[in-house]
Structure formats: C-alpha cells, structure tokens
Amino acid sequence: MAPGAAAADGAGGRTPVTTAATAPPTSAGSAESSEGPAWPDPRADALAGPGLGSLSVASLLASSAVRHAERTAVVCGAERVTYAQLWDQARAYAGAFRARGVGPGDRVAVLVPNVPDFPRVYFGLLALGAVVVPVHLLFTADEVEHVLRDSGATLVVAAAPVLAAALPAAAAAGIPVVTLLVPDEQRDRVPAPRLEDEAAAAEPLERLVPVPPLAPATVLYTSGTTGRPKGAVGSHLAIVENVNVVLIDCFDMRTGDVVFGGLPLFHTFGQVCVMNTAFRVGATVLLLPKFDPATALRVMDAERATVFIGVPTMYGALLQAAGPHREGGRELPPLRYAISGGAALPEAVLDRFQQVFGAPVHEGYGLTETSPVASFNRVGEPAVAGSVGFPVWGVEAEVTDPAHPERIAVLPAGERGELVIRGHNLFKGYLGDPDATEAAVVDGWLRTGDIATKDDEGRIRIVDRAKDMIIRNGYNVYCREVEEVLVRYPGVASVAVFGVADEEHGQEVHAAVVVEDSEAGRTFDPGAMVAESRKHLAAYKYPRVVHVREAMPQGPSGKVLKRELVAEYEG
C-alpha cells in the first residue's frame, strides 16, 4: 500500500467515515442498538481489528463537568457558564441532533462564532460520535457550499450572523439547516428552525456514545494555498493525546487559570490549544466573538487573565493597544506567561511584549495536520527566541532534503531542509483525496512544506515556508530573515516580505508594512527603511519595494496571507 493512501479511511465525498466493523452504536447506553452499526465483536481475535477501547474528545468536557462542576468554563460578555451547565447544554443539543437522526460518523457543518454556543454544538456532536466540520466564518456562500459538498455534511448548524452565506450554500447543496442566536422577533423571517427550540423539546443525551480511538472527530479545512481547501480528518486519539501531552510537558496550564480565547474556535489552534486544553484542566476561557485588541485588553484586565494564547498579529495589536489602555488608568492583565503559534513571532515583538506585559512568551509549532502541536518551547524552561523548541512527547521531527520528495533523506544537524514529522499527532488524511494524502505523507512522515534547521540538541528553527521563499538572481531569500530586520525599524507594527515576479531578477523582494499609529504613518519614510535594511542584509536580500498599508490580509488563524499580497502587487 502506498504511504498514506488509506489515511482518510475511504471517507471521500458522501461515503460514511466509519464502517460497520468499527463504528459505535448510536444509542447512549446500549451496544445492541439497531439504530447504527454494531460495536466490534468481543469474540474477535484480540491481535487483529480495532480493539474494544473507546475514546472521545467529548470526555474533555464531560469529565470536567464532574470534577469542576461549579467552576466557570466560559465567559463571553455578561454570560458566565459553569462546567456543569455547559455539559448539560451540550447534552441537550446532542438530544436535538439525535432526534434529527444524527449519529456516529455523520458529518455536521458548524458556522458559529466564538460564543458559548460553539462548545455546546461541538461537544454535543462529538458526544454522539458525529464528526464536526467547522467552517470559516468569512467564507462566501460559494466557499461554504464547497465545504458542504466536499465533506458530505448531512446538516448545517449556522448562527444568525452568518446565515447570509450559510442558507444559500445549504440550499444549493440540498442540506437542511438549524439556526442559533436568531432573536424571537426574527424567527418567522428565517426559513430554518432554531436549535435552541429543538433542544428544549428533545430528550438530552444521557451519556457519551463510545467511539474507537481512531474514529474521526473533526474535518478541518486547510487554508487552500493552492486550489480548493482540503479537509484534514482528525481522530479522537490525535486530539486528546495532543491535549494531554501539552498539559504534561508544555503549557503548565492549571485548574483555575483564566485563558484568553481570542483565536477562532473553527481553527485548530483555538479549538485544541485554547478550548480543549483549558477544558481538560478546568480553566476558564474568555471568549470574544471577534478579536479586537482594546476589547481584549479590557476583558483580560477585568477577568484577571493569567494565560494569553495568540498568533503574532495579535501580539502586535495588543502592544499597540497597551499604551492607551494604561493612559486610561487601567492595569495590564496579570499574565503568568503567553503562547505564540501559527506563524513566526518576530524577536523584536517578542522582546517588547515581554517587557510591556512582564510575561515570558513561549513559541511552538504545529499544523492542522498535526492536531496541531508538534514542537514547543516548554513553559518553565528558558525559551530561545527564534526557536519553536523541541518535538513534543511521542513525536519525531527531522529535517530532510527537499530534492528527494519521494523519500525521507535526513540532513545533518544545522543544515536547512524541509521539516518532516511523525507521531501520534498526525491526522488521518485528506477527506476523499488519497492522492493529496500520499503526496503529503511519505513512509509515515508528514511533509510540512516548511524550511527548518535542527541543532545538535534537537531544537527546531523555522526558516520559512517553502512556497514563500524568494529566489532572486538565483539566490534564496528567506522572508523571515528579512522580516526580523524590518520589524525593528521605528514605527513598524507589522511587516510581511514576499516575492513578486520580475523579468530581470526572476523575483523581486517586496515588503508590506503596517505602521503603529496615524502619526507614525504621516512621518514614515519607506526609502529610509530600505536604506537602513541594507546595513543588515546582503545585497540580494533587502527589499526594493515597500508598500505601506492600513492592514494585512489574514487567514482564519490570523496568519498573513502572502499569496493575496503577491496577487495584489503582481496584478
């Protein structure tokens, strides 16, 4: 069998994700249910088959509802929900889904912002053994329709703010919709029932439906840097093990911690590293429907946040908001530490954040396909700026020669190459796309597409995305190296370096810059910035063109979308 060819368990299009040999029953309490396929035969050969064990991501909330019943699980505006309440609400939603016929292996698309209804829906579906398909909230109707058709979703759960895209997409795909957060005065104008009403009328799920550890839990659509987004299938085992590993070895998150959850929950970073990890340990998650730095500081200050988890763009935005926050007589939140991921955090921004907020910043690395954490600078140990730390427990990472895509050719320590990863955290494959899975996974190793180095101690540094690397006059220009220089220039809030096609040089080095404030914008001199960069960068590396912008195009996790910058300035 070709490496990774069966990683998606044959789950393409509308084919069921689970099979009769491995799928759990749909009923909450009986393994003899006639509503779904039977549990594996206990008389089968113990050395073969999927085994009799079960594991559910939903247990992360279910267990804490017992252990931390009266602790606050989520805070969103004036709404405060305890663990016991949240689990009861999730079970009520599960009852409504079950009444609609949703069961093990069924894929349900979810378009819900960062509000308590997201975990209610997420854990309600997982408690049934169903598969959650979170959808980017900024997708157009056409993009939502692609996800619905590609995932084989049988139901759409859509919150009121995104119905304009969800309803026509679901209609085109022929899939029923249930809504959330539709006010009473508008219910008659929305051509879909409210989940809240159905949950009130249904019998709540009594207990978790057992699922095999490798059963699919989520289908998360990648950002689609080339062509249509692909659905990465994540297993219950990979997600739960990732949560447990980072809690034991990496994050030092504690019961009673207050964790800022500004990352979108439809994305793996916010979903696993914030929500699932915090729920596992009994911490409180602060939810913001949409990230705004001034609001984030105000909420973190009021709730006395102890842990901040975000992407580099959020760090820069918080630093900009910190000055006015203090001028207004407010304190900064008492952060114990901060975690950065999703993209490289410039060292200058890291240093400034640590000075202003008095909290050490620990960087990590991961992908949707690695559930997501693959390496980390462990909390409690000195973090090395510019490094994403060591592979997490049970995970291997190597740097391989990208000139040999058909095999894994490990390079010596210190050499640059493509980072490859294998371990318990790998996804099951791309839904319905075995060719893409086979191209991404070679001999059990995931090709990440990131250029990295690994030192003699095993510490990893990400140099650049392979697709972002610029080749100017035949020389490799690594964007991160140039960005580290440019972001230190006075008045710069954020910077993105990218290559634009050029007849003379092959590619030319361009930089997009967002300045700190309007006053800096009036005095900012791109030419002076270029001149300063020439003092620190080789002649083929420094940017020839600087674009001053009000904002950067960003993806679902807050990453800067360089492909959009390239398209804009090449056009």
Q: Residue 472 contacts by C-beta under 8 Å, 6 or more apart in sequence?
A: 499, 502, 505, 506, 507, 508, 509, 540, 541
64-68, 84-88, 464-468: least confidently modelled range: 464-468
- 399 neighbors 300 (Cβ within 8 angstroms): no
Q: Please report, for residues 90, 120, 133, 211, 240, the alpha-carbon distance to residue 127 in angstroms, rounded to integers and kept in the order given.
A: 8, 10, 15, 9, 14
Share of the chain above pLDDT 70, in %: 91
Residue 21 confidence (pLDDT): 32
Q: Is 519 exposed, middle or buried (0-12, 13-18, 19+ CB in 10 A)?
A: exposed
Residue 37 confidence (pLDDT): 43
Residue 442 confidence (pLDDT): 95
- For the residues 392-416, what does the mean pLDDT come to? 93
**Would you say residue 148 has pLDDT above 70?**
yes
Closest CA to 364 of 418, 313, 310, 293: 310
Q: Which residue did the predictor score with more confidence, 545 or 381? A: 545
**Would you say residue 11 has pLDDT above 60?**
no
Residue 521 confidence (pLDDT): 60
Going from N- to C-terminal start, the domains of the chain cover 76-229, 469-570
Residue 223 confidence (pLDDT): 65
The pLDDT tens digits of the residues spanning 341-379 come to 987 888 888 999 999 999 999 999 999 999 999 999 988
Q: Which residue did the predictor score with more confidence, 424 or 406? A: 424
Closest CA to 547 of 507, 520, 517, 510: 510
- For the residues 551-562, what does the mean pLDDT come to? 83
278-287, 319-328, 394-403: least confidently modelled range: 319-328
321-330, 446-455, 524-533: least confidently modelled range: 321-330
Residue 382 confidence (pLDDT): 81
- For the residues 169-177, what does the mean pLDDT come to? 97
**Would you say residue 525 has pLDDT above 70?**
yes
**Would you say residue 232 has pLDDT above 90?**
yes
Residue 516 confidence (pLDDT): 86
Residue 38 confidence (pLDDT): 55
Residue 327 confidence (pLDDT): 81
The pLDDT tens digits of the residues spanning 494-524 come to 999 999 988 888 789 999 999 987 665 678 8
The pLDDT tens digits of the residues spanning 320-334 come to 899 888 888 888 999
The pLDDT tens digits of the residues spanning 545-555 come to 999 998 999 87
Residue 505 confidence (pLDDT): 82
Cα–Cα distance measured from residue 25 to residue 30, given in angstroms and rounded to the nearest whole number: 7
Residue 519 confidence (pLDDT): 64
DSSP state of 389: B
Q: Which residue did the predictor score with more confidence, 29 or 466? A: 466
- 283 neighbors 254 (Cβ within 8 angstroms): yes
Q: Which residue did the predictor score with more confidence, 51 or 248? A: 248
Give this prediction's pTM. Answer: 0.83
The pLDDT tens digits of the residues spanning 71-120 come to 999 999 999 999 999 999 999 999 999 999 999 999 999 999 999 999 99
Residue 42 confidence (pLDDT): 79
Q: What is the mean pLDDT of the chain?
A: 89
Q: Check: CATH 1.10.260.30 for 469-570?
A: no
Cα–Cα distance measured from residue 318 to residue 41, given in angstroms and rounded to the nearest whole number: 55
Residue 361 confidence (pLDDT): 94
Q: Which residue did the predictor score with more confidence, 3 or 187? A: 187
Q: Check: CATH 3.40.630.30 for 76-229?
A: no
Bond preceding residue 372 cis, omega within 30 of 0: yes
Residue 523 confidence (pLDDT): 80
Residue 15 confidence (pLDDT): 38
Residue 46 confidence (pLDDT): 84
- 250 neighbors 364 (Cβ within 8 angstroms): yes
* Fold: same for 76-229 and 469-570: no
Phi and psi angles of residue 310, each rounded to the nearest 5 degrees, phi first: -160, 180
